[in-house]
Structure 1
Amino acid sequence: MKLFTSTFAALALFVAAANGLDLVTQIEVSLQSQASQVGEVSPYNAEQVQQNDASQADQDDTNQADQEQQNNANQANQADQAQQNDASQTNQADQAQQNDASQANQADQAQQDDTCTLTGTYVEGTNVTHCSSIVIDSLSVPAGVMLDLTNVTDGTSIKFQGTTTFGQKKWAGPLIKLKGKTSQSLAPLSGFTIKNMPFRTFSILSSNYTTISGLTIDSRAGNGSAKNTDGFDLSRNNHITITGNRIYNQDDCLAMQSSINTIFSENYCSGSHGISVGSLGGVEENINSTVAGLLVKDNTIVNSANGLRIKTIIGLKGLVTNITYINNKLVNVKHAIVMHSDYNKTKGGYSGIPSSLVKITNIKIDGLFGTATNLYNILANPNVVSNWSFTNIAVNATNIGNCTGEPSNVQC
């Protein structure tokens, strides 16, 4: 707008100068005509010539004054026109901004309303980044292909309906991958059934404030032969809540390699290795080898090898602390309370030598009831364990079991 005003002002000055040049030309022509007419009509009369010259001068002055007034009026009109043009352009610019804002709002609304449905046969690499809502309806995922939900837009809702199937093939997996973008936080996962998982069902890594509830994990078809069908594996998480789920499998119902501030409550675990902390341990004690702030409450463990278990890896360091078990129920469990500092990860079993350097401190069991074969199965490194508390233990066990290396305040 400033460029237009300056240019128009220069143009107005140029027009005024051109009019002045035209005016001077007209005056010269008038003077020449008058002199020619006087010389031709009558002999020379000085007085008359003076009067004529005076009259002509007055007339010229009057004409020049009129012309100057007209020029001034023209300049004023041009200035008014420039202001009107400026105002018009301002209005046009404002209208353009309003149009841009309207188009942006329409684009945002279109994106918000963009629901995508995945059905039929899944195609690897399908782009869902533009979808504000994703419905996965009776989808068939080919063998060896991952259902990729890692690049969804923040705030996207994902709904499974019908039956989603995965082709059979021996490969590394995973079958489905979800990923959050805001501090790796996922919205609640709830309300669906997963059948016959060939390997770990949920591996939750580096997630914050995530809730998983109302799921059924059913791998009973693998009874007698399946291995490593963990329900939930947790590593490097903060504030994970797993509640109100039903898990039928052949390995740990919950397995924690590391994580802090975790709640595992009101879950039903059948056929498993129990609710486990571990196996864990690392070269040094850090976020990768620490489980802290775990609450295990109001769960039911049925037909399982273990009830409540902590196992740490021989020769490695780490920390297990502030673990609380409250009012958990056991039904036909082999070992009710299991604490081992002798896990050999290479061989995949207990070594019998409790040489783990992982500290196990502030362990509280308050309320444990039901039925088991052995109440205790404890082989701990006495140098790294402290402050355990077992109260309100009401398990109808066939045997007391074994206790070795437990803190002095615990009576087996």
Structure 2
Amino acid sequence: MRSFIPIAAAVLPAVLARPQGLNGGFGGFGGDSRPDSGSYSQGGVGGGFHTVGGSFGSRPLQSAANGHGSLPEETATASSASVSAQYTGSIDHEKAKASGSSSRYGSSSATAAAAASVTAAGSNAAATASGGTALSSLAGGSGVGGTTCTVTELSEVTASASACSNILLDGVTISASQTLSVTVPSGGALLFAGTMTVEYTPDADYTPIVLKGSNAKIAGLAGAVIDGQGSKYWDGKGSNGGTKKPDHFFKLSDLESTTLEQLTIQNWPTHLFSIDGCKDLNINNLILDNSAGDELNSDGDKLGHNTDAFDVSSVDGLSVTSATVYNQDDCVAVNSGSNIVFDDLYCHGGHGLSIGSIKSGVTVSNVTFQDSTVINSQNACRIKTIADDTDSTVSDITYSNIAISNITNYAIDVQQDYENGSPTGNPTTGITISNVTFDSITGSVSGDDAYSSYILCGSTSSCKDFTYTNIDISGGKTECEPDASLCPS
């Protein structure tokens, strides 16, 4: 069903210290439900949405993991304050995941508290007091945020996008072979609530979610989860064979001056985000959890394969901040684009922070990875180009303040020898890599075959102007071709 909700104001709970609990999320819209006055609810500032529909009366949205709607004013105010105070400071990622009690995987009481917003008169002062942001800011306008459509069926999305400023997807299921394709209204918002399940579709050409728009906000409410049911696909082969799998799960296409935040996504089949053709896109506070794919198959390989989190192409202006990633392939792979920053990432189990593999005829420039952690992964900081490809440049790349631990292949890696997704050992010179800075890369590699640094370039002209400062990596070997000047001293 779809309901139309004029919104007076709403708040977001305090942003918790990263990594956040499932997922910190937004608070709810709420207010006085009116079963006798048509299909709307006049919003105040409240805990859960209320959908009103004729004789059915009001229905509270299950906006948190515990499934409750609005809290009383006193409870909501106290809970919002306490959860903000409780989850500050550092988090032990592994203990947090194991216990389920950290701000990332928060306990049910913490999640419920995070979902509650201040039940006051709808003023921005109340929002500020709770550490949140008014809906007017969320929706990109001033004053009232406009009309919000609550959608529970995929078939209602198109009409809602035409009729309303904001769209709330409440527990929508994406049926087999169907696509959630939305151009978010300019100045509006697309919100996710409850659990969105994407049904099994063994098709390499299938993309379940495609979002476009400009000057928009895309966000998850507290407790919202998008589940790709990856275990139905995983066979250790990824997109290289076996069961057919959607090649990308979530496509962000041609978004401009838009923010995506507070989403939790789990169990995607292969590559997660395709970020393509976007300009001035801001992404923050994501939990991307494919850890279930770490289970081993009969050959001893992880079931999840080719599960990149962020694949980036043809962007101009991209900022990704505070993302927690558990996967089995690249945490990030930048394939083309400029003016890109990845900040405060936590990457576990995959292939690290990558540029490439770079093919012919593209430009990668002004890319920064900073203040991030790469742990229990094959690689940490990596640049790779395709052998025999030409007419591409990779320039002004910075890796700064990257903490690494238990890296089994390469901590610092630059290679010009890739072909069909694998290194050949024979570098070429057709693509130039220049002005690369590695600063404050610290931690350890493990295993007899691990490298603290591995540089394999075709020449000192195709790889040039590499700068290393404050490199402190324990363990591993060093190899540098064609000249030792390309490696840390």
Q: What's the counterpart of residue 261 of structure 1?
A: 339
Residues 152-174 of structure 1, C-alpha deviation per residue, up to 9 Å, x if partnerless?
Answer: 32112111111111101112221
Structure 1 stretches of 4+ moved >6 Å? none
Q: Which protein shows a greater Rg?
A: 1
2:315 maps to a residue whose letter is N
Shift of 1:181: 4.5
Query: Structure 2 residue aligned with 1:216, among 287, 290, 294?
Result: 287
- Structure 2 counterpart of 1:132: 165
Give 1:186 deviation, angstroms.
4.5
Judging changes above 3 Å, is the alpha-carbon distance between structure 1 residues 344 and 192 closer, same or farther for their aligned structure 2 residues? Answer: same
The answer to whether residue 394 in structure 2 is matched with residue 320 in structure 1 is yes
* Contact 2:339–2:366 (8 Å) recurs in 1: yes
| Larger deviation, residues 128-137 vs 270-279 | 128-137
TM-score by length of 1: 0.68
Match of 2:348 among 270, 291, 303: 270
Answering whether residue 231 of structure 2 is matched by residue 158 of structure 1, we say no
> Which 5+ residue runs of structure 2 have no aligned equivalent?
1-143, 216-253, 295-301
Higher relative contact order (CA 8 A, sep 6+): 2
Q: Name the CA distance, whole Å, in 2 between partners of 1:326 and 1:411.
A: 15
Among 405, 424, 432, the residue aligned to 1:351: 424
**SS state at 1:342 partner:** strand
Whether 1:305 and 2:383 are equivalent positions in the alignment is no
Q: Alignment partner of 2:292: what SS?
A: helix
Q: Distance in 2 between matches of 1:247 and 1:144?
A: 27
Q: Deviations over 1:290-334 (max 9, x none)?
A: 110011111100110000000000111211100111110001112
Partners of 1:255 and 1:210 in 2: how far apart? Answer: 16
- Residue 378 of structure 1: how far off its partner (Å): 1.9
Q: Distance in 2 between matches of 1:112 and 1:395?
A: 50
Letter in 2 for 1:333: I
CA contact (8 A) 2:330 2:353 kept: yes
From the superposition, tell whether residues 267 and 231 of structure 1 become closer, same or farther in structure 2 (CA, over 3 Å).
same
Partner residue of 2:273 out of 202, 207, 223: 202
Asked if residue 336 in structure 1 is aligned to residue 411 in structure 2, the reply is yes
Query: Which sits farther off after the overlay, 251-260 or 186-195?
Result: 186-195
- CA separation in 1, counterparts of 2:285 and 2:212? 20
Distance in 2, matches of 1:406 and 1:227, equals: 34
Corresponding residue for residue 390 of structure 1: 468
Q: Whose helix fraction is larger, Structure 1's or Structure 2's? A: 1
The aligned amino acid for 2:458 is N
Match of 1:401 in 2: 478
TM-score (ref. length: structure 2): 0.57
C-alpha separation in 1, matches of 2:303 and 2:367? 31
Q: Distance in 2 between matches of 1:202 and 1:356?
A: 30
- What displacement does 1:280 show? 0.7
Q: Distance in 2 between matches of 1:357 and 1:378?
A: 16
What is the match of residue 150 of structure 2?
Answer: 117
Partner amino acid, structure 2, of 1:378: I
Residues in 1 aligned to 2:170 and 2:285: alpha-carbon distance in whole angstroms: 19
- Does the Cα contact within 8 Å between 2:455 and 2:486 map onto a contact in 1? no
Within a 5 Å distance, the mapping from 1:225-304 to structure 2 comes to 225-282=303-360, 284=361, 289-304=362-377
Q: How many residues align?
A: 293
SS at match of 1:179: strand
Structure 1 residue 112 displacement after superposition: 7.0
C-alpha separation between the residues in 2 aligned to 1:340 and 1:274? Answer: 15
What is the CA RMSD across the aligned residues, in angstroms?
2.0
Question: Superposed, which structure 2 residues align to 1:78-89 within 5 Å?
Answer: none
Matches within 5 A, 1:94-109: none
Query: For the Cα contact (< 8 Å) 1:312–1:356, is it kept in 2?
Result: no
Distance (whole Å) between structure 2 residues aligned to residue 371 and residue 395 of structure 1: 5
Aligned letter for 2:272?
T
Unaligned stretches of 5+ residues in structure 1: 1-110
1:164 counterpart SS class: strand
CA distance in 2, matches of 1:411, 1:296: 18
Distance 2:483 2:315 in 1: 29
Looking at structure 1, the residues matched to 270 and 429 of structure 2 have their Cα atoms a distance apart, in angstroms, of 27
Residue in structure 2 matched with residue 365 of structure 1 by the alignment = 438
Any idea what SS the aligned residue of 1:129 has?
helix
Determine the C-alpha separation between the residues in 1 that align with 2:284 and 2:307.
19
1:163 maps to amino acid? T
Q: Contact 2:158/2:182 (CA < 8 Å) preserved in 1?
A: no
1:30-81 deviation line (CA, Å, top 9, x unaligned)? xxxxxxxxxxxxxxxxxxxxxxxxxxxxxxxxxxxxxxxxxxxxxxxxxxxx
The more displaced of 167-176 and 273-282 is: 167-176
CA distance in 2 between counterparts of 1:341 and 1:279 reads 9
After superposition, the Cα gap between the structure-2 partners of 1:197 and 1:257, relative to the gap in structure 1 and judged at 3 Å, is same
Matching residue within 177, 198, 219 for 1:144: 177
1:173 paired to 2:206? yes
